Structure 1
Amino acid sequence: MKNKFLLLALGLMTLSTYAQQDLFNEPALVSPEINPDNTVTFRVKAPLAQTVSVSGSLDGEHAFAPISYEMEKGDKGIWTFTTPELPSELYRYHFSIDSVRTVDPSNPYAIRDVSNLSNIFLVEGGKADMYKVQDVPHGTVAYRWYDSPGNDKKRRMAVYTPAGYEKTTDAYPVLYLLHGVGGDEEAWLGSGRAAQILDNLIAQGKAEPMIVVMTNGNVYQEASPGNGSSGFPKITFMLPNTMDGKFEETFVDAMKFIKENYRTKDTKASRAIAGLSMGGFHTANIALNYPNTFDYIGLFSSALGVPRNGVTSPMYENKDEKLRQQMENGYELYWMAIGEDDMDMILRGNESFRNQMDEMGMEYEYVETDGGHTWNNWRDYLVIFAQRLFK
């Protein structure tokens, strides 16, 4: 009888082992493999494929540009490609197998950007160390639902509280951090690595401990796709109410929730707002319409020049008058950054806005960097901007 139980146990162990292995019990491919010289090798098994390529941010000078490289077929139908040496950065990529986009089956780490999934990897030893989870005190990220009467629905936001928030009775300053078109309340936490950046900056004493509020700028949604009552809708890039003034009009609902539910320093000097692309457009207009609310304003590749096809809103009226009022009320920092290779309409829109500020003598700081409308720029901008706040 003992032998029967032993054989049964061994059989179950064998089944369990096989269940956790590749279906055909083949050793898993290593992909991506970050080599000692910071080149990166990709591998995928596709024995019947005619063409395989890898696409993504695989060029150090043009990170996140849509660059594709053909992979070479080798033994057992394994396709490979090795990049040149890559600088420290967080990279994303995907495969194309006979023109069909797919993620890397050997890499479980992926991020959704609008409706596309891309794998990610990180090359250490430089600025990307700021995006890593390091051995430092960690803050807490919570997804919170709040009432938004202006939108007649409950909506979801993400809130980062710094390490130690739960153990103290201290009040903290607040940064409202807004995403771009097609994004949601998860964007800055995923592609933006906001929690890791704040953890590391605060631990290094380079940034003040702060609460960071990441709202969903698409007021048509309750929450990011799959997290609202609509279930699992088809994900689309442009939604109703995009840049039509409704988000700016109802932003007070989010601020009210934060004030009532978190220990915040309820002063202008302790509030900041920043955003990328559409979020930069939202930031500029929220700052205009609530001109004595924020002492720190950050526009990251702001979509100020994007045409809105005749959309009108009280939020977008009397811009000169609102801007002048904001200037007269005063503020600590108005910071703008953009990549020199950004889209022409966005570059022109930002130039026009700066000219308007120049004409009335309104102070600001302007930074033009390499690159374009990309997450690697926006992460850099957050690292810089966060260190300037609440000093």
Structure 2
Amino acid sequence: MKTNRLVVLTLLFLSMNLFSQDPNFHIYLAFGQSNMEGSAEIEAQDKIGDERFKVLQSLDCSNLGFTKNEWRVATPPLTQCYTGLSPADYFGKTMIKYLPKKVKVGIINVAVGGSDIRLFDKENYKKYTKTYPEDWFQKKIEDYGGNPYEHFIKLAKKAQKDGVIKGIILHQGESNQDDKNWPEYVKKVYYNMLADLSLDANKVPLIASELVDKEQNGVCASMNPIINTLPNVISTAHVVSSKGCKPRKDHTHFNSAGVRELGKRYALKMLSIKGYKVKDYNPNKDLKSVEILPNNKVVFRIYAPNATTVKLYSDDKWDYVAFKKDNNGVWEGFWNDAKPGVYSYKFIVDGVEVQDSKAVSITDNIPVIKIASDKDFFYKRNTISHGAITIQNYYSKTLQKNRRLRVWSPPGYEKSKKKLPVLYLIHGGGGSETSWSNIGAVGDILDNLFSEGKIKPMLVVMPNGTIETAEILDRVPLFAKDLMNDIIPFIEKTYKVKTKQNDRAIMGLSMGGLETLEAVTFHPNKFGYVGVLSSGWWLSDSWKEKRGIVDNSENRLKQLNLIAPNFNKSVKMLHFTQGGSEDIAFENGNETLKLFKKAKINFTYSEMSGGHTWMVWRKNLRDLAPKLFK
């Protein structure tokens, strides 16, 4: 009888314990090194909490009033007492945005900046507690009781009494750069976690992320191909792209905006794996359509949510690629055993041929429609001689990478021994070296002007002014440095050109106008002719209100005053244009002109209706090119 009572009491206790575990409290584990720990600046928008998103505090933080082992509303920092914004912050915020309202989310974040992934290997962690002997690293290890993994598991076991662990997110790899064994190290840690917490891998997926990528000049970008092999080693592992996630100036850590975006991507991937459909999410925005992976593998992706079949076609011979569609409408297929070569390809979506709109090479051939007659200045006339537009590759020491530019040369240049002056013509934000030669119709405009004798023979160099930087204005001085130190020397070494100040001109539109201003105000003795089209320093109050970014007018005026005396003597033309009051750069342009007036620098100005468009900029080129090198 007593035995029966004991059994009943035991069952009652167990049922009460199970009942206390809320199935609608979804818990996620986060670990890694500095980016996951939180290295980005915490801004006002990041401090807004929600009762549906909580963190199990891992340390006592008297400076913040946080108590170890207690759930609190999740606001940064989520790991240690003096860290910053982590992807885990916006992972949780995004999860509760799209999960049913009855579901709450909890996060446990134990990450150690500077750590090798094997610091979380419970059998070998002691070998990696001395990766850095300095106090900044040792203090972190000490705060976690000398064993971050054990600390992590204890927190997770406590959390299991309150909710259900649904997944694990990881950001790590900087301290294991180029180590091809990294996926195996992660596998061991992941499987240990599953075993120690009695979890099922099929119900608790692992999501890792790329590091700052090569397009953002990531210091550790070479690790990304290795990270992308993780799903080959762990069947329940997934990797999210870091493409477009902005870095800090060290190009190792993500800045605040980059962290927010990365955290969102972790969440969207987790939601997709769990079968949730996100209505207002556009997976095509940052989709990598083609990735070349290690071990001769290539992955193809296309966003086609309503398609029933996707195939891959090429004129080249290759193996069949089978595609599968995920919950967000992205089809993915792998080509195994890819041989070295150059291959053309296209997608066949429900029987219809579809070009890869996300391919890097597609930017060279952006579709345009030209509606023109022989009366239009940008019409291609068949009865005249035409110049040539050539593609040139150069190595930028400034950016430490190969880059491209395009060069227009007048008819007869190749056979002539005569040296010509040079116009450096720069596109706007979001464009590339192809912009002026494509939608800008530069070849036809210059060919027509040349045939009519309206312009001097010249070379026109169209560089790529787009450089990915953490902050958008940081690209301006960086491009100016590339222009002065790499592009101009390359042109003057490669082509038959004159090299005096009055034989150089520079003209740029919009963002290219800012880059033009940067070049001429800090190198005033290098250009004799200057054109600033629909542009101006970001100085207006309205711009600050809309964009939250503003330039320093005092510093700009100081520089103008410094160069003014010699500038007026040596620069033959400084001309500003605007596309009327509807031009988005109109107010900034006017504020910029005020500074030039204060500095008493001579300039001319013209304005036409049309706004911030190529309709205006093509006309600007038509009107200003004849004024050069007179």
Superposed pair shares fold, TM > 0.5: yes
Structure with bigger strand share is 1
1: distance between equivalents of 2:393 and 2:536? Answer: 28
Q: Please tell me the residue identity of whatever aligns with 2:372.
A: V
Following TM superposition, by how much is the alpha carbon of 1:339 offset from its aligned partner in structure 2, in angstroms? 1.1
- 1:358 counterpart = 2:590: no
Following TM superposition, by how much is the alpha carbon of 1:326 offset from its aligned partner in structure 2, in angstroms? 5.2
- 1:121 counterpart = 2:351: no
Q: Residues 16-47 of structure 1: CA distance to partner in whole angstroms, max 9, x if unpaired?
A: xxxxxxxxxxxxxxxxxxxxxxxxxxxxxxxx
- 1:203 counterpart = 2:457: no
Q: Please tell me the residue identity of whatever aligns with 1:330.
A: S
Change (3 A) 1:143 1:196: same
> Is the CA contact 1:218–1:241 (under 8 Å) kept in the aligned structure 2?
no
Q: Please tell me the residue identity of whatever aligns with 1:247.
A: F
Match of 2:503 in 1: 270
Match of 1:249 in 2: 481
Partner secondary structure for residue 348 of structure 1: helix
- 1:284 counterpart = 2:517: yes
2: distance between equivalents of 1:148 and 1:270? Answer: 23
Larger Rg: 2
Match of 1:165 in 2: 413
Between 1:170-179 and 1:319-328, the stretch displaced more is 319-328
> Is the CA contact 2:372–2:379 (under 8 Å) kept in the aligned structure 1?
no
Change (3 A) 1:200 1:357: same
- 1:389 counterpart = 2:389: no
2: distance between equivalents of 1:335 and 1:185? Answer: 23
2: distance between equivalents of 1:365 and 1:148? Answer: 34
Picking from 296, 299, 302, the partner of 2:529 is: 296
2: distance between equivalents of 1:370 and 1:310? Answer: 26
Partner secondary structure for residue 371 of structure 2: strand
- Higher RCO, Cα 8 Å, sep 6+: 1
Give aligned pairs, total: 261
2: distance between equivalents of 1:261 and 1:116? Answer: 26
Q: Please tell me the residue identity of whatever aligns with 2:396.
A: S
- TM-score between both structures, scaled by the size of structure 1: 0.61
- 1:141 counterpart = 2:381: no
- 1:336 counterpart = 2:568: no
Change (3 A) 1:295 1:119: closer
Q: Residues 79-102 of structure 1: CA distance to partner in whole angstroms, max 9, x if unpaired?
A: xxxxxxxxxxxxxxxxxxxxxxxx
Structure with bigger helix share is 2
Following TM superposition, by how much is the alpha carbon of 1:382 offset from its aligned partner in structure 2, in angstroms? 0.2
Give unmatched runs, 5+ long, in structure 1.
Answer: 1-104, 106-111, 221-238
1: distance between equivalents of 2:563 and 2:615? Answer: 30
Q: Counterparts in 2 of 1:48-59, with a 5 A limit?
A: none
Following TM superposition, by how much is the alpha carbon of 1:329 offset from its aligned partner in structure 2, in angstroms? 4.5
Partner secondary structure for residue 187 of structure 1: coil
Q: Please tell me the residue identity of whatever aligns with 1:277.
A: S
Picking from 364, 380, 404, the partner of 1:132 is: 380
1: distance between equivalents of 2:568 and 2:605? Answer: 20
Partner secondary structure for residue 180 of structure 1: coil
Following TM superposition, by how much is the alpha carbon of 1:321 offset from its aligned partner in structure 2, in angstroms? 3.7
Aligned alpha-carbon RMSD (Å) = 2.9
- TM-score between both structures, scaled by the size of structure 2: 0.39
> Is the CA contact 1:219–1:241 (under 8 Å) kept in the aligned structure 2?
no
Partner secondary structure for residue 499 of structure 2: coil
2: distance between equivalents of 1:326 and 1:287? Answer: 12
* Identical counterparts, % of pairs: 32
> Is the CA contact 2:513–2:535 (under 8 Å) kept in the aligned structure 1?
yes
Change (3 A) 1:208 1:125: same
Following TM superposition, by how much is the alpha carbon of 1:322 offset from its aligned partner in structure 2, in angstroms? 4.5
> Is the CA contact 2:534–2:583 (under 8 Å) kept in the aligned structure 1?
no
Partner secondary structure for residue 120 of structure 1: coil
